[in-house]
Chains A and B, each alone.
Chain A
Amino acid sequence: MKNLKNTLLLMLVIFSLNSFAQDNNPKLDEAIKKGLDMINSAKAAEDLMKSANYFERIAQVESKAWLPQYYAAYSNLSAGLESADKKVKDQLWDKALQEIEQANNLSPENSEIYALKGYLEYMKLSIDPQSRLNYMGQSAASLEQAKKINPDNPRIYLISGQNKFFTPEAFGGGKTNAKPILETAAAKFTIFKATSPLMPNWGAERLKTLLAQCN
């Protein structure tokens, strides 16, 4: 009986690991690893556009895997952050929003996806806050959803702290309001362990930079 229980447990563990590892596709894993290296070694907006293209190519083939869509969106988000032209930013973020929507369809109720969505919606707002106030509520709702699914995801606190950081004090933002949230993020980052090296694990560096500016 005990044996059966152990076997079941083991099966469950293997099954869940398996699902995390995207149906065990070593070719895909290898490709994602290579793409992550591209992101990490990127120096300018162009490099990130190239990594976005790279992940979009993988996503075309791997129509059931959410990670390529997720990293394509993340690359486009980062490329937008590095671009100077408002119009280009806006277009890249529109594309990223479409990709994160795709990722959401492939992996519903995923905390990482909602967190990145909240990030993107806030950046869409930042292009023209006066006429895009609708994104403020949307971003807050996405982050809320991300927290509901996994309250231990440190990126939620990084993003919502960052949103606060860049929101004028009058609108409920500012450094003082951002600091406690960013500190929560720091605490969550120390205990966070990605389930695999391919899973989202970015943000710790960005957090350090923001926290340094809060003091």
Chain B
Amino acid sequence: MKAFYLIPVLFLYSSLSFGQTIISGTIKSANGLPLANANIQLKGSYDGTSSDNNGNYKFSSDEKGTQVIICSALNYEADSIRIELGTKPVLANLILKEATNQLQTVTISAGSFVAGDGKKGAVLSALDIATTAGTRADVFAALQTLPGTQVNFSESGLFVRGGAAAETKTYFDGLLVKSPFNASVPDKASRGRLSPFLFKGTSFSAGGYSAQYGQALSSALILESTDLPEKTTTGISLLSVGGGVDQNIRYKNSSITVGGYYYNLSPVYNLIKQQTNFVKAPEQLGGNVHYKLKTSETGMLKVYAAYSKSKFSLMENDNNTLADQFFLSNNNDNTYLNASYKEFLNASWKLEAGFAYNKDSDEGLKVLDQYSRGDHLMEEKLTLTHYYGKLSNLKFGLETFGTGREESLGTLTHEYKDQISSGFAESDIFLSSKLVVRLGLRTEYSSYLDRYNLAPRASLGIKTAANDQLSMAYGRFYQNPEDEYLIIKPTNFEQADHYILKYERNTDDRNFRVEAFYKDYRGLTKVNAGVPDNSGNGYAQGFELFWRDKKSIKDADFWISYSFLDTRRNFRDFPTAATPSFAAKHTASLVFKKFVNAINTQVGAAYSFASGRTYYNPNNPVYLADKTKSYNNLSFTVSHLTHILKQFTVLYVNANNVPGFKNVYGYNYSNDGLSRQAKLPSARRDLFVGLLMTIGDNTFVR
């Protein structure tokens, strides 16, 4: 009985194997390379196999009739072929096209430096910004180690490619930040208000940037805030200058961070002698709230609000006589609100909306007169992005902001108000994965100036090899004159044209970039007998080198940057075209970091160099012809990772200008030209100690 059963089974089996068709072939790339481990499959069945090292494959199938073979391989685009399965063996060869690998796709890169975690084209990580020696976790100080920027400690702001500080604008989630710096002491740079830990991505553009951003002649610093934190944690910081606490609470689809801090520099100033004669050392109290809500799989709402209050008073040198000092006090109040919403309307349309409010007011006593100054900005912005093709997109939007200043000294008062409304459109057109063109146009109307402008922008990227890219950019940029001139009278837009050429080579562990630029300035503000007009002009040209290497030294990482700058301009109260005092011809920096596992410590060093800057000497008939000696600074930082009360703790020490180089930023001359006083850093050497503790997490990532 059993044997009888077996017969049909055997028969069936043999007929099956008899009816199988053998399918074989070779899988190759477009340039003829055999592809190993490609996946070959008969669509709709399990039948298939992987190719061998010569790209050959062979399998058999019971399927009959018209069938489709699908083939896929890592880094190649899947392809398919139709075959007819009968009794005869089938030969099916396939040639696969290289896939547009994200990392090997060309990018818009002229002029820009990207920092961020896991970001395409990122040169620095978010942590790099925070841990660069000498910067004390200040975004702006860290950016001064990148090419194109000046090392500047005597005035707040970023001085980029011959531009003044006011030519660089800061954007927080796409919205302009009117007052990104703390109140500054005369002739000293102050820190940025925004902590680097707020941001997951920083894009610093030294020129040729997107039409989304306006009102900046030289540079745009684009900061993108972090998304939901992974966990609920508490952070405590104890610093040599004060301390802070913040609480991160994570809910399922939202999070809220509430923080507060208090800084008082007077104990440190008692230990480290300051050049400035403080009556009351700077003191600051502030707080912030950051709320984030994931509104859907692709939607995100973020609201950031911050308030801070600071004060100081000092005896300032009288620049007329240099012998006398006069009293200056400052109380600063700053309120900042930023709300942004992002959502994909469907697979190919994205909407971004934002609102920002910023109010910054200073008041105090200057000699005997009460002074006050208030800057404000209220901005609304709407952007729509349409994605088309594989990589291309079209972006367009509207932006409007009301801004202005009111100031008073004694009984004198001034004010101005302006509403700047803009429209922009821009498209990234990928002609292939190796060639991209960006074309953009921006138009602005200023109600105070009662004028329009039209700014074309263009950028081009060509992938010349797997890791090499060539980029070019042209753009016209406009901005309103600085508040101090606008408050006197409305004039006209200032204008700059940028021309940029860049070559870069990026691998996982090394980045090399060289970039050359030319900038043509027109309509710069000039002041004749106290009255501003737009008769100024100037140029800036130069080149920059950047090299970052994470491979050559084990466990270590370093970057070198060098900038050459040749610039002359005739603006402000200049009697003639000259190189301004904020533009050094040669600037270089070397940043080094190494993690020493044996002692759980990251050590870092940074060296910066800048050749002499010009300064005004009334005894020299040639304007701005004198130069200071060159600037040198060598700073060290040590971050020791440990646990205190089982909580993850970082002990951080930063020592600035360890060798004690005597740096001079320039000179102030008395009215008669007979005596002068050097502008010096606030202290020759500086030491900063901090302890940062994270509660609720046994790793330091928050």
Binding site for B on A (CB under 8 A): 27, 31, 46, 49-50, 53-54, 56-58, 60-61, 86-88, 91-92, 95, 128, 130-138, 140-141, 167-173
Which residues of chain B from 646 to 702 have a CB within 8 Å of any chain A CB? 648, 698-702
Whether B127 sits at the interface, judged by CB under 8 Å, is yes
In the complex, besides A27-B46, A91-B75, A132-B118, 12 extra interface pairs with C-beta distance below 8 angstroms are A49-B37, A53-B48, A53-B49, A57-B47, A87-B508, A131-B117, A132-B117, A135-B118, A138-B230, A140-B230, A170-B641, A172-B643
Whether B122 sits at the interface, judged by CB under 8 Å, is yes
Whether B389 sits at the interface, judged by CB under 8 Å, is no
Instruction: Decide if B118 touches A168 in the complex (CB within 8 Å).
Output: no
Main secondary structure of the interface of A (DSSP, over half): helix
Least CB distance from A93 to B in Å reads 11
Instruction: Decide if A53 touches B37 in the complex (CB within 8 Å).
Output: yes
Instruction: Decide if A130 touches B550 in the complex (CB within 8 Å).
Output: yes
* A53 CA / B50 CA spacing, docked (Å): 7
Whether B597 sits at the interface, judged by CB under 8 Å, is yes
* A181 CA / B642 CA spacing, docked (Å): 21
Which residues of chain B from 22 to 36 have a CB within 8 Å of any chain A CB? 36
Interface bin, chain B: 35 or more
Instruction: Decide if B230 touches A141 in the complex (CB within 8 Å).
Output: yes
Closest B residue, CB atoms, query A87? B508
- A135 — which chain B residues lie within 8 A by C-beta? 118
- A128 — which chain B residues lie within 8 A by C-beta? 508
**Given contacts A46-B37, A61-B46, A137-B230, A172 and B125 within 8 Å (CB-CB):** no
**Given contacts A130-B550, A132-B118, A53 and B39 within 8 Å (CB-CB):** yes
- B117 — which chain A residues lie within 8 A by C-beta? 131-134
Whether B557 sits at the interface, judged by CB under 8 Å, is yes
- B44 — which chain A residues lie within 8 A by C-beta? 61
Instruction: Decide if A50 touches B37 in the complex (CB within 8 Å).
Output: yes
Least CB distance from A165 to B in Å reads 14
Instruction: Decide if A130 touches B557 in the complex (CB within 8 Å).
Output: yes
- A141 — which chain B residues lie within 8 A by C-beta? 230-231
Q: Which 5 A-B pairs have the closest CB atoms?
A: A170-B600, A137-B230, A170-B641, A53-B39, A131-B125
* A188 CA / B699 CA spacing, docked (Å): 25
- A54 — which chain B residues lie within 8 A by C-beta? 50
* A136 CA / B37 CA spacing, docked (Å): 31
Chosen A-B contacts, 26 in total, with CB atoms closer than 8 Å, are: A46-B37, A50-B37, A53-B39, A53-B48, A53-B49, A53-B50, A54-B50, A56-B39, A57-B39, A58-B46, A60-B43, A61-B44, A91-B74, A128-B508, A130-B128, A130-B557, A131-B117, A137-B702, A141-B230, A168-B595, A170-B600, A170-B601, A170-B641, A171-B700, A172-B643, A173-B699
Instruction: Decide if B41 touches A172 in the complex (CB within 8 Å).
Output: no
Least CB distance from B77 to A in Å reads 14
- Interface-centre pick from A95, A131, A137 (highest chain B CB count, 10 A): A131
* A141 CA / B46 CA spacing, docked (Å): 35
- Interface-centre pick from B70, B117, B229, B550 (highest chain A CB count, 10 A): B117
- A132 — which chain B residues lie within 8 A by C-beta? 117-118
- Interface-centre pick from A86, A88, A137, A169 (highest chain B CB count, 10 A): A137
Instruction: Decide if B74 touches A57 in the complex (CB within 8 Å).
Output: no
Closest A residue, CB atoms, query B250? A141
Interface string of B536-567 (1 = CB under 8 A from A): 00000000000000100000010000000000
- B557 — which chain A residues lie within 8 A by C-beta? 130
CB < 8 Å neighbour of A169 from B36, B39, B600, B702:
B600
